[in-house]
């Protein structure tokens, strides 16, 4: 640990925030969060910013660009008693844009004598800047709506009165609009503090991720929306003040015809004593409003759910209510390892609170007499059937064979070396998979030492695909809480995942050319290609004693087969491997699994 960096980070506001967290959550949680903050990082963010900043020649080329049909962007800002230095910096971050086709609409609800109007007057010589002095302050939602009414542009860009746009922000957004014609565009962001505008805590986002948006307003800033869509959804709703931007965003994405993400840090969220960015514990009403916003969105989508807080303000978990009790078929391939299988089955029976399931044991070339004695003991009892696969080990073929005999509308692929932790695991997975747009739901897995074995899979990590947060202590939440948040991903592990029968059949099951490795990743990608979501459900937790039943790639034959499966995946999924996983920001390294910044 770099003690100098630690001491440098301990300013008045971080100490104040830390003490508030300690009071709220106690010493144990405070210690976990502190250790996360002080952990060494692969790439220093200040160095990364310097390496990734556009050059002066690039900025000049942007200024000289001749646009054939430039979208006009109205930057709307609700002002309220904005400190003079923040106000000037905000306005100048707009006037300094490399993209010229903008207007700045300021709705000033400040108190008389605040000095806001006098500062703004100095900038009104630029005809692109307009200010409306409001008769009274209508709050953040009301003032924003009045600023939107002033707009005449094709798109609305939302900017807070004390924040800053990067010099190339509107250029990059306009380029994306011209390319894709999206109704809604968002960018990456970070935070700044102090007179030196120190940049920290980058929020490097995935492409549109509806389940992550239900867990947290990860989109936040910079948000740019087609003006016609803003008018159609009706602007901001002050009954959700505190989470009005989250609620507004839900109504926009529900109707947007295209949603685009620009993976560049183009918005700087200012941290100071009064800002929510600095003290997220200060606005409980905002997080209650956020829960209501999530629930209202879910209901508009025709679903029913319970929305609750996580231990982190502004981050939520959703438990979907089941519209019925369908049969679930649990497929467990097995070769010997009787005690391991017994523990797996006993934990399912002992802990599960959902009881409409069947278990299919898929026997694969066991040799020990006690294995067959155990099969005889359990076969046909308590909803268990033993199926006999006569050929060699092929994980894909075993699961396809089991599926052919399954009676359920929902199928769980489960390794025999997995044990249940979460009692309502089947209800939570069903809640996800019974949503019409979801094809697969995966879980959070731990090694026996309570470190993470799987928190979702990213395509490209390690060359083909890799699990997230491997080896991270269970109590930690990871980068921007990603280890504990429901979200859509490109893949999850089949050590434990639930599949909707419709999605299984549409994808054609597992590819039996992939006998050992990456068969689950390939299957998930095929399901996604059929239009289904793959959801990571971290509120289902299990232990996984990985590779107990099969062993490791420890022979030349196994290693050759493993290499051939790597080559197969690289050829079949060349597009996503070359373009990047849409659920993983391209600024992150593919050499690590913890959202470390990519070295340039």
Q: The tokens 């807080």 sit on which residue?
A: 309
282, 300, 318 - which closes a domain: 300
Inform me whether the pLDDT recorded for 298 exceeds 80: yes
Query: With b meaning 16 or more CB within 10 Å and e meaning fewer, what string describes 214-238?
Result: bbbbbbbbbbbbbbebbeebebbbe
- Which range among 15-24, 49-58, 250-259, 357-366 shows the weakest confidence by mean pLDDT? 15-24
Q: What is the pLDDT of residue 115?
A: 85
Do residues 9 and 47 make contact, with C-beta atoms less than 8 angstroms apart? no
Question: Quick check: is 591 in a domain?
Answer: no
User: 41: closest CA among 600, 460, 594?
Assistant: 594
Question: Quick check: is 163 in a domain?
Answer: yes
Inform me whether the pLDDT recorded for 576 exceeds 60: yes
Q: What is the pLDDT of residue 522?
A: 98
Q: What is the pLDDT of residue 560?
A: 76
pLDDT band at 43 (very low <50, low <70, confident <90, very high): confident
Range of the domain at 73: 66-300
Both 35 and 72 in one domain: the answer is no
Structure tokens at 541: 């937790």
Do residues 291 and 371 make contact, with C-beta atoms less than 8 angstroms apart? no
> What's the whole-number average pLDDT of the chain?
91
Element (H, E) at 487: strand 487-488
Question: Quick check: is 567 in a domain?
Answer: yes
3-state DSSP call for residue 561? helix
Inform me whether the pLDDT recorded for 30 exceeds 90: no
**How large is the average pLDDT for residues 259-281?**
80
Both 459 and 416 in one domain: the answer is yes
Both 18 and 88 in one domain: the answer is no
**Rounded distance, CA 98 to CA 60, Å?**
8
Both 376 and 509 in one domain: the answer is yes
pLDDT band at 28 (very low <50, low <70, confident <90, very high): low
**How large is the average pLDDT for residues 290-300?**
97
Structure tokens at 233: 């959804």
Residue 266: CA count within 13 A, CB half-sphere: 29
pLDDT tens, position by position, 496-527: 999 999 999 999 999 999 999 999 999 999 99
User: 97: closest CA among 159, 162, 144, 4?
Assistant: 159
Both 334 and 447 in one domain: the answer is yes
If you write DSSP's letter for every residue of 354-409 in order, what string do you get? ---EEEEEEEE----HHHHHHHHHHTTSTTEEEEEE-S---HHHHHHHHHHH---S
Question: Quick check: is 234 in a domain?
Answer: yes
Inform me whether the pLDDT recorded for 329 exceeds 60: yes
Q: What is the pLDDT of residue 510?
A: 98
Structure tokens at 593: 């699994």
Q: Structural domain tally of the chain? A: 3
For residue 394, count CB atoms less than 10 angstroms from its CB and return exposed for 0-12, middle for 13-18, buried for 19 or more. Answer: buried
Inform me whether the pLDDT recorded for 555 exceeds 90: no
Both 453 and 358 in one domain: the answer is yes
Both 292 and 336 in one domain: the answer is no
**How large is the average pLDDT for residues 214-242?**
97
Question: Quick check: is 312 in a domain?
Answer: no
pLDDT band at 32 (very low <50, low <70, confident <90, very high): low
Both 117 and 32 in one domain: the answer is no
pLDDT band at 582 (very low <50, low <70, confident <90, very high): very high
List residues bridging with 267 in a β-sheet: 165, 189
Both 238 and 274 in one domain: the answer is yes
User: 34: closest CA among 45, 43, 47, 25?
Assistant: 25
Question: Quick check: is 489 in a domain?
Answer: yes
If you write DSSP's letter for every residue of 145-158 in order, what string do you get? HHHHHH--SSEEEE
Question: Quick check: is 318 in a domain?
Answer: no
pLDDT band at 282 (very low <50, low <70, confident <90, very high): low
Q: What is the pLDDT of residue 35?
A: 55
CA dihedral angle for residue 327, residue 424, residue 593, residue 25, rounded to 10 degrees: 160
Q: What is the pLDDT of residue 57?
A: 97
Q: What percent of the chain has pLDDT over 90?
A: 83
pLDDT band at 226 (very low <50, low <70, confident <90, very high): very high
3-state DSSP call for residue 495? coil
Please report how the helices 244-255 and 139-150 are oriented relative to each other, as an axis angle in degrees rounded to 10: 50
Q: What is the pLDDT of residue 561?
A: 75
Q: What is the pLDDT of residue 23?
A: 65
- The CA-to-CA distance between both ends of the chain, in Å, stands at 23
Query: Is the omega angle on the peptide bond into residue 222 within 30 degrees of 0, that is, cis?
Result: yes
Q: What Cα–Cα distance (Å) separates residue 109 from each residue in 117, 134, 374?
A: 10, 5, 75
Inform me whether the pLDDT recorded for 48 exceeds 80: yes
Q: What is the pLDDT of residue 566?
A: 94
How many CB atoms are located within 10 Å of the residue 529 CB? 12
Q: What is the pLDDT of residue 551?
A: 45
Query: With b meaning 16 or more CB within 10 Å and e meaning fewer, what string describes 552-568?
Result: ebeeeeeeebeeebbeb
Q: What is the pLDDT of residue 196?
A: 84
pLDDT band at 423 (very low <50, low <70, confident <90, very high): very high
Q: Give the domain CATH number at 508.
A: 3.90.550.10
pLDDT tens, position by position, 53-98: 999 999 999 999 999 999 999 999 999 999 999 999 999 999 999 9
Question: Quick check: is 600 in a domain?
Answer: no
Q: What is the pLDDT of residue 1?
A: 43
Both 88 and 36 in one domain: the answer is no
Both 126 and 13 in one domain: the answer is no
Q: What is the pLDDT of residue 14?
A: 58
Q: What is the pLDDT of residue 550?
A: 44
Q: What percent of the chain has pLDDT over 70?
A: 89
Both 360 and 414 in one domain: the answer is yes
How many CB atoms are located within 10 Å of the residue 512 CB? 15
Q: What Cα–Cα distance (Å) separates residue 117 from each residue in 79, 338, 480?
A: 10, 78, 38
pLDDT tens, position by position, 178-207: 999 999 999 999 999 988 899 999 999 999
Q: What is the pLDDT of residue 600?
A: 76
């Amino acid at each position: 640990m770099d003690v100098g960096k630690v001491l440098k980070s301990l300013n008045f506001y971080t100490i104040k925030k830390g003490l508030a967290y300690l009071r709220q959550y106690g010493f144990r949680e405070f210690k976990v969060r502190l250790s996360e903050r002080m952990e060494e990082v692969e790439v220093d963010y200040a160095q990364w910013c310097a390496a990734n900043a556009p050059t002066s020649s690039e900025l000049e080329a942007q200024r000289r660009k001749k646009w054939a049909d430039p979208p006009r962007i109205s930057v709307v800002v609700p002002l309220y008693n904005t400190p003079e230095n923040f106000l000037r910096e905000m306005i100048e971050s707009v006037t300094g844009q490399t993209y010229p086709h903008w207007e700045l609409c300021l709705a000033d609800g400040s108190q008389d004598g605040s000095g806001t109007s006098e500062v703004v007057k100095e900038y009104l010589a630029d005809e692109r800047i307009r200010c409306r002095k409001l008769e009274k302050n209508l709050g953040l939602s009301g003032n924003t709506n009045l600023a939107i009414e002033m707009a005449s542009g094709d798109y609305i860009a939302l900017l807070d009165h004390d924040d800053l746009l990067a010099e190339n922000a509107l250029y990059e957004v306009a380029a994306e609009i011209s390319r894709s014609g999206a109704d809604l565009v968002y960018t990456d962001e970070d935070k700044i503090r102090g007179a030196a505008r120190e940049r920290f805590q980058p929020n490097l986002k995935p492409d549109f991720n509806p389940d992550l948006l239900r867990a947290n307003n990860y989109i936040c800033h910079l948000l740019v929306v087609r003006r016609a869509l803003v008018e159609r959804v009706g602007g901001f709703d002050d009954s959700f003040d505190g989470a009005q931007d989250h609620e507004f965003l839900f109504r926009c994405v529900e109707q947007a015809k295209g949603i685009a993400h620009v993976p560049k840090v183009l918005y700087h969220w200012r941290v100071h004593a009064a800002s929510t960015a600095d003290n997220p514990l200060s606005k409980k009403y905002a997080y209650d409003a956020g829960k209501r916003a999530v629930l209202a969105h879910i209901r508009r989508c025709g679903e029913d759910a319970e929305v609750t807080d996580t231990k982190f303000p502004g981050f939520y978990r959703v438990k979907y209510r089941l519209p019925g009790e369908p049969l679930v078929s649990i497929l467990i391939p097995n070769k010997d390892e009787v005690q391991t299988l017994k523990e797996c089955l006993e934990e399912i029976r002992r802990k599960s609170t959902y009881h409409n399931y069947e278990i299919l044991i898929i026997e694969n070339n066991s040799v020990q007499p006690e294995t067959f004695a155990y099969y005889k003991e359990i076969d046909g009892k308590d909803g268990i059937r033993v199926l006999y696969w006569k050929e060699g080990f092929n994980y894909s073929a075993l699961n396809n064979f089991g599926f052919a005999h399954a009676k359920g509308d929902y199928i769980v692929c489960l390794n025999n070396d997995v044990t249940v932790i979460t009692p309502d695991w089947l209800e939570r997975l069903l809640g996800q998979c019974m949503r019409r747009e979801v094809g697969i739901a995966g879980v959070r897995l731990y090694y026996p030492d309570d470190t993470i074995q799987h928190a979702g899979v990213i395509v490209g990590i390690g060359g083909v695909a890799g699990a997230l947060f491997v080896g991270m202590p269970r109590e930690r939440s990871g980068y921007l809480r990603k280890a504990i948040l429901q979200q859509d991903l490109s893949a999850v592990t089949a050590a434990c995942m639930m599949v909707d029968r419709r999605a299984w059949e549409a994808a054609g099951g597992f590819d039996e050319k992939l006998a050992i490795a990456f068969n689950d990743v390939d299957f998930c990608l095929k399901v996604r290609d059929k239009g289904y979501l793959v959801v990571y459900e971290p509120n289902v937790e299990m232990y996984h004693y990985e590779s107990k039943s099969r062993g490791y790639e420890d022979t030349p034959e196994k290693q050759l087969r493993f290499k051939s499966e790597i080559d197969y995946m690289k050829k079949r999924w060349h597009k996503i491997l070359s373009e990047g996983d849409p659920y993983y920001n391209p600024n992150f390294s593919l050499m690590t699994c913890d959202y470390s910044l990519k070295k340039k």
